[in-house]
Structures are given as structure tokens and as C-alpha cells.
Amino acid sequence: MQNINTIGFIGLGVMGEPMCQNIALKHRGKVIGFDIKKNDYAKLIDCGVKIVESLDEIVSISDLIILSLPSGKEVRDLCLGKSGLVEIIRSGQIVLDSSTTPPSLSREIYRTFTKKGVLFADTPVARTRQAAIDGKLSIMVGADLSVMKRIKPILQYIATDIIHCGEVGAGEVCKILNNMVLFQNIAAFSEALVIGEKAGVSVNSLVEAISKSSGDSFALRNHGVKAVIPNSFPEGAFSVNYAKKDLLYALDIASENGSRADGAERILDLFEQAISQGWGTHYHPVIKRLLEIEKKL
């Protein structure tokens, strides 16, 4: 079986840059980076990443290619579009998609690439940018078991938790539904904070009570403490626009199998309200502001 010597990384954005950096620091072979945006990648270069100028170049020298792109549209264009990977990739290569995309797209790419002798897995990542910097992401994998075993050592460069969710597409389903739960947890904590303050309870007391009781969650300890409480919703983080995209994927999955998603529908309404307020590019826990507005009415 061909060794994985050279790793190509496409998409050096908020999550992709630190992921690529960790791979470069831990992988014994070469690491090649590519992004359509011509940003300053000095940090990656200092870690040994070679930044190339074209898709052709990264494909020609990589044994394994990882994608970290904004949405299904970019993934479809890159993988299946004119002048995309499907036209230049070669038999024996491996492609991992760490983006969050519709499961149906992952399965379509898998079928297309399989015909060309290319291995494919969906490997969407979860947790925060800080987790990406620390190499402590969670990765949900949709792949044949044989492929899972082969790619796991690479994924361990960037993650502490790697879950084999099933065949191709299953990783995306789990990631999308994870995000659906996260968004609802953030809204629930934001509601509790607003109601608790109105009831005269200190923020510190409420947070301590919840965090040491059955209401504790990753959302509270990370998004709640670091964003909701200090009202810190910067641009450049995982925005409302991106969160809405993921939530729509979840609602599509629910619609396809006839499931109710009442909680997700409510969060979608909050996201749309936030966008209408001009907060679409802000960190998605900004929905707390809407609950504060409701409190004052």
C-alpha cells in the first residue's frame, strides 16, 4: 500500500490554517498548502509548509489531500466542477473533506472518485479555532473501515477524538446534527442568562450552579463563558451566516426522512433575525442580543 509522504492542504482559513500548521509540525513528510486567497502565510511557511500557486501543482505532488472549505458549494466546485479535482486527480490518491457539507454531496463525490481509483472520506471537524490551534479537534469520519484505518494516523495530528460514524456521508450527518444541538444549547444558555439577571441572580452564581449541575455543557463552558457572558461576538469567527448554512443542512436531513425539527426551526428564526439586524458576519452566539431585546419589550 502506498505510503502517505506528501500531504496537500486546500483551504487555509480560520480552521484550515491551524490544522495545516499542526500537520506540518507533526508529519515526517512534506506538507503543501493552497488557497485561492493570497494572504500572509508566513506562520505556515515557518513551520515548513510549501505554499503553491495552483490546484494542479498541489494535486501533482500530494499523496493525500485535505479540504477545508466554507460550504458545499465550494466543495462541489473544487471536486466536481470544470477544472476541478475530478479532472486532474489520479488513481491511488486520497481525498479527505473536513468541510461541513451535505451528506448527499459527500456520497456523490465518493462515487465519482471511486470510479477513478481515488479514496475519499468525509472528515468534518468540530470544536473551536482554539482547539484547531491546540490540535484538539473532534473529527467525525464517514469512510470504509479500511480507509478509516489508513487515515487515522493523519487525523491524529489535528484531533484528540476521532469517531468512525459509518460509511461515507455519515460523518457529515453527525457533524451537522452536532452543530444543531450546539446552537440550541447556546440559545438555551442565553435565555437562562437573560432571565436569571432579570430575576436578580448574579451571572457568576448562575454559571456556577449550571456548570456543576445537570445543565452543564461544552456550549456553556466555551461559547457561554467566552462569548455570551462578556458579549464578545467578533467578526472573523464562526459567523451567523456560516451557522445558518449548517442549520439548513440539518433541516434538509430532517425533511428528507420526515423528522420534526422544531427546536432547529426556532434557531433558524433567530439566525435570520440576527442577519436582518446586520449581525450576519458576527460570531454566532450573537443571538443573545435578540433575547436581550425581547427582554426589554
What's the pLDDT score for residue 297?
46
Nearest to 8 by CA among 126, 96, 107, 106: 96
Domain pair 7-168 / 173-296, same fold: no
What is the torsion angle, in degrees rounded to the nearest 10, for the CA atoms of residue 207, residue 246, residue 14 and residue 50?
Answer: 140
Weakly modelled stretches of the chain, pLDDT under 50: 1, 297
Query: Nearest 5°: phi and psi at 267?
Result: -65, -40
pTM comes to 0.94
d(CA 98, CA 93): 16
Alpha helix segments (H runs only) across the chain: 16-26, 42-46, 55-61, 72-80, 85-88, 103-115, 129-134, 145-155, 170-198, 203-211, 218-219, 240-256, 262-276, 288-296
Q: CA angle, corner 207, sides to 177 and 291, nearest 5?
A: 65
Superfamily (CATH) of domain 7-168? NAD(P)-binding Rossmann-like Domain (3.40.50.720)
Domains of the chain, residue spans:
7-168, 173-296
Q: Would you call 44 helix, strand, or coil by DSSP?
A: helix
Q: Class of 173-296 per CATH? A: mainly alpha
Q: What is the pLDDT of residues 209-268, one digit of tens each?
A: 999 999 999 999 999 999 999 999 999 889 999 999 999 999 999 999 999 999 999 999
